[in-house]
Structure 1
Amino acid sequence: MLARPLRLTRGTDYRSVVRRGIRCGGARVVTSMLTTGETREPRFGFIISKQVGNAVVRNTVRRRLKAVCAEALLSVPEGTDVVIRALPASATATYGELLADVTRCLARLNRTRASV
C-alpha cells in the first residue's frame, strides 16, 4: 500500500501531470509522468471513472494499482509525479496484467524522459 506522502492529493497536481506530462497508453491503463525536479519521493495518483464499473470494482482496481505502484516505487526517479488512469478493460484485468501494463509504461516513460 502507498503511504500518504507518496500520493497526489490536490486537483492542481493531477491537472499539471495530465496536461504537461508525457503519456503512455496501454490496453488497461494510461500512465502520465511529470518530472518536477524537486528532491522528494515520487508521488502517484489514480483516476478511476464510473466507466470502469460500480464502486466495488473501482475500489478493487484502485487497490491493485496502489499495490503495483508500491512495487514499482524504486524504478521511478525522485521528484516525479505519476498519474494512472484506469480504462474500462482494467475492471476484468488480473493483478499481473495491471502490473505488466504499468511496469511497461513506466519503463517506456523513463527512457523517453532520459532522452529529452
Structure 2
Amino acid sequence: MRRGRRYSAPHCVIHIVSNERSTGVRFGFIVSKAVGNAVVRNSVRRRLRAAAAQLLPTVPGDSDIVVRALAGSAQVQCTTLQAEIAEGIDRIMVKS
C-alpha cells in the first residue's frame, strides 16, 4: 500500500500497485471494526467482493488492488461501492 497510488472515495479508499510477478489481478479487502460488528463487516466484505468480481475484466492484468472500507460503507448499496471502486481504478490508471 505504501508503493502504489491511492484514490479516496466517500465510502472506501482504493490502493493500486503494479506487480510484475503476479499472473493476474489480485484484490484485497480491509474492513475494520469501525464499519460494524462481525456480521456487518462480513456483509460489507461480500458486497465488495461481488463488486470487484464484476469489475475484473476491465482491470489491467498485473495489478494488485486493495480496497479499504470506511465507516459509512455498511449503509450504502452494492452499486454505489462498485461505482466508487470503478471510478478509483479509472482515475488511478489514467494517471499512470
TM-score interval for Structure 1 and Structure 2 normalised by the shorter chain? over 0.9
Structure number with the higher strand fraction is 2
Q: More relative contact order in 1 or in 2 (CA 8 Å, sep 6+)?
A: 2
Scaled by the length of structure 1, the TM-score of the pair is 0.79
Following TM superposition, by how much is the alpha carbon of 1:39 offset from its aligned partner in structure 2, in angstroms? 5.7
Q: Aligned residues, how many?
A: 96
Q: 2:30 is matched by which residue type in structure 1?
A: I
Segments of 5+ residues of structure 1 without an aligned counterpart are 1-17
Contact 1:32 1:82 in 2 (8 A): yes
**Match of 1:105, SS?**
helix
Cα RMSD after superposing both structures: 1.0
Give the ranges of 4+ consecutive aligned residues of structure 1 lying more than 6 Å apart after TM superposition: none
Segments of 5+ residues of structure 2 without an aligned counterpart are none
Structure number with the higher helix fraction is 1
Q: Indicate whether 1:64 and 2:85 are aligned.
A: no
Which of 26, 33, 48 is residue 9 of structure 2 equivalent to? 26
Which of 86, 105, 108 is residue 69 of structure 2 equivalent to? 86
Q: Indicate whether 1:76 and 2:59 are aligned.
A: yes
- Partner Cα separation in structure 2 for residue 37 and residue 75 of structure 1: 18
